[in-house]
Chains A and B, each alone.
Chain A
Amino acid sequence: MHTNKLHNRRSFLKQSLLATGALLWLPSCEDKNDIKHIKGSIVGANSKSGHIARDLKSRPSPTHTEQVDYLIVGGGIAGLTALRHLKNAGITSCKLLEMDNHTGGNSHSGSNKISQYPWGAHYLPVPDIRNKEILDFLQSCGVITEYKDGLPVYNEYHICHDPEERLFINGQWQEGIVPEFGVPAADKEQIRKFFALMASMKTAVGADGKDAFTIPLKNSTEDAKYRDLDKISFAAYLKQNNFTSPPLLWYLEYCCKDDYGTRLDNTSAWAGIHYFAARKGKGANAKDSTVLTWPEGNAFLATHLRKQCDETTIALQHAAVNIKPTASGADVLVNDVNKGTFYQITAKKMIVCTPQFVTKHLIDLGKLRYSMYDSFYYTPWLIANLTVRDLPTAKGLSLCWDNIIYGSESVGYVNANNQDVTRSSKAVLTCYKPYAYTTPQAGRMKLQKSDYKTLLKEVIDELDYAHQGIAQFIEQADLWIWGHGMIAPLPGFIWGASRLIANSPVDNKIFFAHSDLSGISIFEEAFYQGLDAAKNALAAS
């Protein structure tokens, strides 16, 4: 609804700008948004190797067989955390298979002369001090330097540097993302009320004494008073509570898109509230709204996890294509992607850390369980990393870490150089765009069929509204397509049956871990998924 209006206004502005330009000086009236000079390509993700398992018609015969006590499939955050835990527990006979040429999953990054930049997840809110395992991990990678009065002291190079967030609204950049500049008083009042309600949710406790909303979400209360919120959409919840203000609803939908890739009407109200009520982190020099971030995004965390594993146990570009439960564990057919050959691994225990849209093609656990996968819904994402030599500026706050344009379909861009203490004349901007307004299938189809120029133009057109003529300043633009960007907590999904059934181990030999099994695609959930699965696998002997 916003987009149409924006588009008209933008094209009107563009046309009048061009017309004026043409009158003033003809030779300079080339299309301001010409993108011919921009270098780059679609650099990922490789959907080919991901589809091997799905498209496998006949079972190839393995060239040889290996044996291992513990086999992990999938090298994202959950898989790496599991492998790290096995190593810490003294397990030596283990292996992790990763189909891609790097571990980290969605916490992937790239780099160029200007900066490192994220290709996916890019920040971690300061964790709850009850998340001791995460705090220990953060301390081991230097993010926490010491403890003062029982509170972690965060390394200031890793705390998001100021200025943190800005929103382009009513023609200028305001500080913070909650709409404020030019917002009528009645709307501001609703916004205030909403945050007051969320503050009460943050401290709310269920009948069992557990937090109403917490991270990891498995520790949240079972009290139906709160869990039943999962049964309705966030939109319905807001309506029930008389939240109707367009700027507030825009902001909340932005939050849903940003964290879940969903809209208000297809986000579980429980998940919608969780976004505001579950972050309870503390630090000697940090509060609950403080976030940790790095130029390379969460690849920083993924790299540290990997380094803390026995890296010789990680096999890159080895894709599990079939898992067969056996009496003694599992037989796994593996594709050596580079060689194109297949071999078998016989494992005593397995931790399957792939997302469920992959898992369902890997392992046949019967019709009932297979049907559960239908409720796993993933939004496709397009990510663009733009190297700019400058930014056409509008009035207001200068470039921040997170920059959002009011009314736009995408969720804005992050300045990858924000954590860089050096002054650079250029910057890398990471733009995030979930395809939340079509079905995931239609979104994936569009992303797959569109060429580089079409997709880049889409990204630039949105930015151009706040940065007129930005195309001229872009030197390099690379794109990444995540066909299944992140799990969407649709109404009923978080506390429904599918997630629990898909998460249940097979015969105490095959365990499952992935953030999509939590229903919320965040680092903490993936971390605890991997940790719990590894602990369970170790315990089940």
Chain B
Amino acid sequence: MNEEVTTENIQTADYSRNKGLLLLLSVFIIATCGLIYELIAGTLASYLLGDSITQFSTIIGVYLFSMGIGSWLSKYIDGNLLRWFIRIEILVGIIGGISAPVLFVIFEHIYSFKVILYAFVGLTGVLVGLEIPLLMRILQGKYQFKDLVSNIFTFDYIGGLLASLIFPLVLVPYLGLIRTSLFFGMLNIGVALALMYQFKETKPYRANMLVTIIVCLAAFTGGMLYSQKIMTYSESLAFQDQVIFSKSTPYQRIVLTKNTREMRLFLNGNLQFSSADEYRYHEALIHPGMQNLSGATKVLVLGGGDGLAVRELLKYPQIQSINLVDLDPEMTRLFSTNKILTALNKKAFASPKVKVTNADAYQWVRNNNEKYQFIAIDFPDPSNYSVGKLYTNSFYREVSRLLDSNGVMVVQSTSPYIGRKSFWCINHTLESEGFHVIPYHAYVPSFGEWGYALATKNYCWRNEGKLPEGLKYVNFKTISDMMFFPPDMSDVPTEINKLNNQVLVHYFESDWGPYAH
């Protein structure tokens, strides 16, 4: 702090042509980096928040405005300008570099997401805005004013062009957003390092800065490697659309993707819903069973951690409590806190009627005795043995204890078209436990034909109750149509799925084998 090297020192220093060129080269890199950060922020915002036109224009606006603030602030900076310049360079590198990883990580906490997003954009803008005026002052007197302005802005705009070309063509497809962000952060810091070693007047404070630089570069290198984990390149390739969120929980890998039309949720790579047509799936899951249960006050949902089935259930005023049991706390947390997702499930988990329990459904059912009038079972497809247990006669026997004698249960039971044997195996397994089963199916464009089984203990189900207002897919005509099975989906003989044969998993494998991606 006490070394007083001023602009005079620089002016009197031996200013080789090389050094001038280096400074201009750094203008070029700075310009590229600056625009890249802006593009990253814009892209991220439109991935995560949707509506790319709004997102891009507000990001650009905030960014340019912040640059203006930076330029204005530059007049308050005095003293060792080169040192300031290097400092700012490092700072831009750090902030720009961490922007994408941080934004990805905090996306779950959507409440603070926008604030942090614009804070990043603003801060980067201010710092980038400081750079050019500072540089002009540093180079003042080294060139004629007209050359100075011309050189700086030429490099600035070329950098801009380069950034805007490589970003969509090279960086996003090959590096991904996180690594692009980190990479340009390192570039920024690299410029600082190069400058420091080209100008001997930086000697007094080199050691200090060097430590900062090395720490940053090491952290960013680590981040580049770790970004594999934050979001794997292969993953973004595996999904058609941009991955906006992914998380591995002890139970599954949750991935959300988004394109202009819809958002999709994948669990372990299997599509769970598309926001464009999930209403069909969930209306068909809930309403045929619920519509004639005017006295249903207590409802149990097993699985369905997305809260979309609960959203449909909340349309019935007679329901006083909904117990939802889902294995994965991460799922229910995501769908109760993330703004986009709570918009989708209409804040279902915030309803005072809803109680969420994170437990294994089998164990939970085995340990409970309370009765429910409606039970919705919405488990993942029986694609492996541990999920297969949730479709066994033993499990249905346990669930049967929890169903009122006049209650209705519905089970999502895979596609009767593709998984024909699987679908009917679930039906027959339910029947083997004494349920009266009414199979039905709905067409959900992103899934295809999808099947359900309504199960009652005493033939109590009628298609003549009361449906909530405003349903988009289900009405009484839809319900009766859904119960018709054309010959290519009609009943086929199967074995009963038991814990000690798990035939359903075998059926499912052979049904879906030809469709495996």
Which residues of A line the B interface, CB within 8 A? 156-157, 159-164, 290, 398-399, 421-426
Residues of A close to B393: CB separation below 8 A: 156
**Docked CA distance A163–B387 (Å):** 13
Q: Is the CB of B386 within 8 A of A159?
A: no
Asked if B366 is at the interface (CB within 8 A of a chain A CB), the reply is: yes
Cβ contacts A to B, 29 pairs, < 8 Å: A156-B393, A156-B498, A156-B499, A157-B394, A157-B499, A159-B500, A161-B389, A161-B500, A161-B502, A162-B385, A162-B498, A162-B501, A162-B505, A164-B500, A398-B384, A399-B385, A421-B363, A421-B366, A421-B389, A421-B395, A421-B499, A422-B360, A423-B251, A423-B327, A423-B360, A423-B386, A423-B389, A425-B251, A426-B250
Measured in the bound complex, the distance between the Cα atoms of B505 and A293 in whole Å is: 21
Q: A163-B502, A421-B395 are in contact. List 20 more A-B contacts (CB 8 A).
A: A156-B392, A156-B394, A159-B499, A161-B499, A162-B385, A162-B498, A162-B500, A162-B501, A162-B505, A290-B500, A398-B384, A421-B362, A421-B363, A421-B389, A421-B394, A421-B499, A422-B362, A423-B360, A423-B362, A423-B389
Contacts of B395 in A (CB 8 A): 421
Give A164 to B502 CA distance when docked, in angstroms.
Answer: 10
Chain B residue numbers with a CB within 8 Å of A290 are: 500
CA distance A249 to B250 in the complex (A): 42
B389 nearest in chain A by CB position: A421
Query: Cα distance A163–B501 when bound, in Å?
Result: 7
A156's partner among B362, B386, B500 (CB-CB below 8 A) is B500
Contact A162 B499 (CB under 8 A): yes
Residues of A within 8 A of B251 (CB): 423, 425
Which residue of the partner chain A has the closest CB to B387? A423
How many Å lie between the Cα of A514 and that of B384 in the bound state?
42
Q: How far is the CB of A343 from chain B (nearest CB, A)?
A: 46
Q: Bound complex: CA of A426 vs CA of B386, how far in Å?
A: 12
Residues of B within 8 A of A424 (CB): 360
The answer to whether residues A425 and B250 also contact, given A162-B385, A398-B384 and a CB cut-off of 8 A, is: yes
What is the CA–CA distance of A423 and B327 in the complex, to the nearest angstrom?
8
Interface size class of B (residues with CB under 8 A): 20 to 34
Q: Which residues of A contact B386 (CB under 8 A)?
A: 423
A47 to chain B, nearest CB (A): 38
Which residue of the partner chain B has the closest CB to A426? B250
Nearest Cβ on chain B to A159's Cβ, whole angstroms:
4
Q: Which 3 A-B pairs have the closest CB atoms?
A: A425-B250, A162-B502, A422-B360
Interface residues of B in 331-380 (CB under 8 A from A): 360, 362-363, 366
In the complex, which of the residues B327, B385, B500 contacts A160, with contact meaning CB atoms closer than 8 Å?
Answer: B500
How long is the Cα–Cα vector from A161 to B363 in the complex, in angstroms?
16
> Considering the chains assembled together, what is the distance between the CA atoms of A426 and B394 in angstroms?
23
In the complex, the answer to whether A422 meets B502 with C-beta atoms within 8 Å is no
Which chain B residue has the least Cβ–Cβ distance from A154?
B500
Q: Most chain-B CB neighbours within 10 Å: which of A157, A163, A426?
A: A163
Q: Which of A161, A162, A164, A398 has the most B CB atoms < 10 Å from its CB?
A: A162
Q: How many angstroms from the CA of A159 to the CA of B327 in the assembled complex?
A: 25
A424 and B387 alpha carbons, distance in the complex (Å): 11
The CA of A423 and the CA of B302, in the complex, are separated in Å by 14
Q: Indicate with 1 or 0, residue by residue over B303-333, a CB within 8 angstroms of chain A CB atoms.
A: 0000000000000000000000001000000
- CB of B385 within 8 A of CB of A398, answer yes
- Highest count of chain A CB atoms <10 Å: which of B392, B500, B501, B505: B500
Counting chain A CB atoms within 10 Å of each CB, which of B363, B384, B385 scores highest? B385
A164 to B394, CA, bound (A): 18
Q: How far is the CA of A422 from the CA of B499 in the complex (A)?
A: 12
Complex contact B385–A163 (CB within 8 A): yes
Residues of A within 8 A of B363 (CB): 421-422
Distance, CA A474 to CA B394, complexed state (A): 32
User: Within the assembled complex, what's the spacing in Å between the Cα atoms of A161 and B505?
Assistant: 13
A126 vs chain B, min Cβ distance (A): 11
Chain B residues positioned under 8 Å from A426 (CB to CB): 250
Whole-angstrom distance from the CB of A448 to the nearest CB of chain B?
39
List the B side residues contacting A421 at CB < 8 Å: 360, 362-363, 366, 389, 394-395, 499
How far, in whole Å, are A160 and B250 apart by their CA atoms in the complex?
Answer: 26
Residues of chain B within 8 A (CB-CB) of A162 are 385, 498-502, 505
Chain B residues with CB under 8 A of A423: 251, 327, 360, 362, 386-387, 389
Q: How far is the CA of A426 from the CA of B251 in the complex (A)?
A: 10
Nearest chain A CB to B433's CB is how many angstroms away? 12
Question: Once the chains are docked, how many angstroms separate the CA of A161 from the CA of B384?
Answer: 13
Chain B, range 398-430, C-beta contacts under 8 Å to A: none
Q: Which of B362, B387, B393 has the most CB of A within 10 A?
A: B362
Minimal beta-carbon separation of B406 from chain A (angstroms)? 28
CA separation between A162 and B395, bound complex, in Å?
15
Q: Given the complex of chains A and B, what is the CA–CA distance between A156 and B392 in angstroms?
A: 10
